Amino acid sequence: MAIHKIALLFLFTCIIAVTQGASVHRRALADDIASTKDAIARASTGLNRILDALAAAAAGGAGAGAAGGGGAQQQQQQQGAATETVAATAAPATATTESAATAAATEATQTAAGGAQQTGAATPDLSAVTAALTAAGVIPDVIDAFTPTIELKVTYPVGDVTLGNNITPQQAATQPIVTYTAAATDLFTIIMTDPDVPSRAEARNGQFRHWTFVNIKGSDVANGTPGSVYLGPGPPPGSGPHRYTFLLFKQPGQLDPAALGINNNNRAQFRAQTFATQQGLTLVGANFMLSENP
C-alpha cells in the first residue's frame, strides 16, 4: 500500500514537472514569436522610410529637370522671337523685293524655256544683255545693236559666263558647254571671238576667231558642225582684259562649212558682224567674259 502511494506520488510529481516544462516552453516560444514580430515590424518601418526617401528624391530630381528644361525652352523661344523680330524689323522691304525678284526671274526662265517653241509665245526680257554689251563696248565694237530673243548660257568648269565676269585663261582652257532653248526645226551658228587683239587700246589684229560651230539643230549643240575648233583665251601678258564674246546666230538654212572660210587657219582679223551679214544670219543671243594675262 505504501509502495502504491509512493508510486502515485512519483507519477503525480512527473506530471507536474512535465506540465510546468511545457508551460515554460510555450512562454519561451511566445516570447520568440513576439520578438520576431517586433523585428519584422522594425525592418518594415525602416524599409518604408528608405522607399519614402527614394521617392522624394526622384520627385525632386524630376521637378528640377522639368524646371530646367522649361527654362531652356523658354530661353530658346525668347531668343528665336527676338531674332525673328530683328529680321522682320531690319529688312521687311528687302525680303519683299527679293521675293518679287525671284518670282520675276522664275517667270522669265519659264517663258524662255517654252516661248521659243510655241508660236506667238512671249519672249523673255533680255534687256540686261543689251545693256551689258553696250556698257562694255561689245556693241558696237563686235556687233551692231540688236534685240536678243534667246538667253545664251556658257559654262566652264569654274562656272558660268555672266555678262562680263572675270575668268582666267587657265579656267577657260577647255571648250565650254553652251545651252539655250530653241525650236528643234531651227538652225544656229555659235561664234566665240576676241576683239581686243593685241589689246583693247590697239586692236589692229582683232577680232580673233576662237571658235565656230554651224548647222546646230535647235539646241543640240553637240550635233553641230565644227568650223574653227575651240582655242582658249591667250591674251598677251600685260595687255589688259580682253572681251571674249559668244554669239548665237539663227541661220536661214544649211551652211557649207568648207565654203565659209572659218576653218582653223587665218583666225585673225575676223569680223563677226560682216560674216553674219554675208551669210544672212540673224543675231538672237550673246554673252561675254573678261580674261587677261597680268
Summarize pLDDT for 24-57 with one digit per residue, the tens. Answer: 455 655 565 656 566 565 655 555 665 565 555 5
Paired sense of beta strands 242-250 and 282-291, if any: antiparallel
DSSP 8-state class, residue 246: E
pLDDT of 136 higher than 90: yes
Compute the distance between CA of residue 181 and CA of residue 65 in angstroms, rounded to an integer.
62
8 A C-beta contact, residue 293 and residue 239: yes
CA torsion angle 164 174 195 211 (round to 10): -120
Strand order in the sheet with 282-291: 165-166, 282-291, 242-250, 187-194, 208-217, 225-226
Q: What is the pLDDT of residues 201-210, one digit of tens each?
A: 999 988 999 9
Cell of 15: 506530471
pLDDT of 164 higher than 60: yes
Q: CATH top-level class for 124-291?
A: alpha beta
Instruction: Give the residue, 4 or 151, on which the prediction is more confident.
Output: 151
Instruction: Identify the pLDDT of residue 257.
Output: 87
The rounded percent of the chain whose pLDDT value lies above 90 is 54
- Residue ranges of the alpha helices (H) in the chain? 2-90, 92-115, 127-135, 138-141, 257-260, 272-279
Q: Per-domain residue ranges for the chain?
A: 1-90, 124-291
8 A C-beta contact, residue 163 and residue 129: yes
- pTM for the full model? 0.60
pLDDT of 189 higher than 60: yes
Whole-number average pLDDT of the chain: 76
DSSP 8-state class, residue 198: S
